[in-house]
């Protein structure tokens, strides 16, 4: 499984690594990929997408790399199962509710509830690992 993320200060990246650990512990292969390195064609051959981005701007996805990536895949992901995650700071998670709604609008089904963590995932490591384990069971 491919986990594609954008992270400014490493918080969402840490989540991605922990989710990858959980997927591996759950018996599946996991590859953690920075969105700037993703091969979209390869990614689109997957049935399950695991996508993470922190809250940026004013409750939006990061605009120079992650947002264009979402736009690029948007017309090609109908029917896919998608797990969403990301770190936030002072907001209430609105960016992730919007991301989830948008992916549903593209025809995806969302695996569980998106996983959001305030700032560093240090106190939420197990939660991230468990999220990965759950994805591995799909």
Ligand X SMILES: Cc1cc2nc3c(=O)[nH]c(=O)nc-3n(C[C@H](O)[C@H](O)[C@H](O)COP(=O)(O)O)c2cc1C
Q: Does 124 bind ligand X (CB under 6 A)?
A: no
Applying CB under 6 A, among 37, 41, 47, 58 the residue interacting with ligand X is: 58
Question: Do β-strands 109-110 and 48-53 pair in parallel, antiparallel, or remain unpaired?
Answer: unpaired
Distance in Å, CB of 41 to ligand X, minimum: 26
Q: Does 17 bind ligand X (CB under 6 A)?
A: no
- Which phi-psi region, left, alpha or beta, contains residue 11 (left: φ > 0; alpha: ψ -120 to 50)? alpha
Size of the site for ligand X (CB under 6 A): 18
For residue 56, the 8-state DSSP code is: B
Applying CB under 6 A, among 4, 55, 84, 116 the residue interacting with ligand X is: 55
- In terms of CB distance, is 16 or 135 closer to ligand X? 16
Q: Does 36 bind ligand X (CB under 6 A)?
A: no
Q: Does 11 bind ligand X (CB under 6 A)?
A: yes
The packing angle between helices 11-25 and 125-136, to 10°, is 50
Binding site for ligand X (CB under 6 A): 7-12, 54-59, 87-91, 119
């Amino acid at each position: 499984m491919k986990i594609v993320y954008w992270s400014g200060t490493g918080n969402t990246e840490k989540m991605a690594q922990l989710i990858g650990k959980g997927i591996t512990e759950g018996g599946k292969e996991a590859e953690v990929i920075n969105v700037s390195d993703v091969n979209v064609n390869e990614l689109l051959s997957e049935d399950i997408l695991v996508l993470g981005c922190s809250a940026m701007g004013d409750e939006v996805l990061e605009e120079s790399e992650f947002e264009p990536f979402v736009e690029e895949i948007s017309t090609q992901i109908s029917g896919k199962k998608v797990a969403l995650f990301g770190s936030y700071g002072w907001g209430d998670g609105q960016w992730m509710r919007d991301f989830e709604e948008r992916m549903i609008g593209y025809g995806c089904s969302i695996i569980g509830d998106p996983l959001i963590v305030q700032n560093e995932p240090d106190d939420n490591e197990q939660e991230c690992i468990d999220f990965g384990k759950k994805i591995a069971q799909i």
